[in-house]
Chain A
């Protein structure tokens, strides 16, 4: 209450988080590898493409020391493919799938490479190759909207067709928002919406609404819920069965 911020992340916080994503840069100057808290970066050797965190890539881009190679999905071809998937009547109910997860690394032997300083371990939603040139062309990563927006704002000249990409991004956002909104109509005190493939910014956008709505419905339904529980408790005591497990899900705070 003291902080007038909505629950969850604000748009700029989500934007800040997405700057952790690796993008491929084509350096114009040499740069030794940097020892950073998140792990060392690779040395830059013109003209070999190198993966760098987005924030560093944007910094070098601003200083005209590097060019950014946009990921494969952030192109007119990739985005229109995804857009077709989203608007197809057969797949109108679902969101386009997210990028494929890397194969599980399995159990590691020994401690030498776990949390060591020379490897960067990515955990979902950060996938190692979701925004570099090695990314899949036909799937959106978790931070698609933020990465797309940042690259279009600061590195528009590295795109073949920045206007086309921008238009497609906007279309895609509207298609997916309308799908999310369709899902909200079924929301209830105990109901849920399937959010597979929904991006970080989209979640931040709807969190306040969905949270507030479910919370409000839960409050209105509390008296009914309590009487139902009392009835069930009575049934159990009388040996009439009822559900055997304690139903705690409705206590969940969003």
Chain B
């Protein structure tokens, strides 16, 4: 599923994440609307670019790395607390279109036991809810309040919902 050529994995990598630069980088000014990048500049960059900048180090002994990566707001404390309170009431799609994909990528870079815990619980609770909603196609079509939850699904959840529906519809 997460192969190099899959559109969803390319789009997952294109999600923005905040990055703080630690060095003066005149040649990277195109990233910052042609104003030079100074130490302390914060930019929202696509994940694939931010990751490369954060792990690369300029040549020379004892130099710091170019930039440090921060947790995106979608995985910040506020969202985590909201998810811990009630996974189903959070508009996951508004946080990030590929919310779980973003989580996976960030967890590869950061060791955050707590985020893993919250994401796992969220994923489970929401998956069961989605299965319930997907079973009952009629109410989804009529949109009697249940569509509110369906609008908050992230892309991955949306695809799983569609993969569950055809079987349901074919059975008497």
Within 8 A of B (CB), among A201-239: 201, 204-205, 208-209, 212-213, 215-217, 219-224, 227
Q: Are A209 and B104 in contact (CB under 8 A)?
A: no
Please choose the segment from A5-13, A64-72, A101-109 that sits at the chain B interface, where 4 or more of its residues have CB less than 8 A away: A5-13
| Chain A interface, DSSP helix/strand/loop, else mixed | helix
What is the interface size of chain B, counting residues whose CB is below 8 A from a CB of the partner? Answer: 30
Q: Are B113 and A219 in contact (CB under 8 A)?
A: no
Residue ID in chain A nearest B171 by CB atoms? A11
Chain A window 187-211, contacts with chain B (Cβ cutoff 8 Å), 1 for yes, 0 for no? 1110000000000010011001100
Chain A window 169-202, contacts with chain B (Cβ cutoff 8 Å), 1 for yes, 0 for no? 0100100000001001101110000000000010
| Given A187-B124, A216-B123; A222-B164 close (CB under 8 Å) | no
Q: Are A149 and B100 in contact (CB under 8 A)?
A: no
Q: Are B127 and A216 in contact (CB under 8 A)?
A: yes
Q: Are A208 and B123 in contact (CB under 8 A)?
A: no
Interface positions of B (Cβ within 8 A of A): 1-2, 6-7, 100, 103-104, 107-108, 111, 113, 116, 119-120, 123-124, 127-128, 131, 134, 156, 160, 163-164, 166-168, 170-172
Interface positions of A (Cβ within 8 A of B): 1, 6-7, 10-12, 145, 149, 153, 170, 173, 181, 184-185, 187-189, 201, 204-205, 208-209, 212-213, 215-217, 219-224, 227
Closest 5 CB pairs of A and B: A11-B170, A6-B163, A208-B163, A223-B107, A212-B160
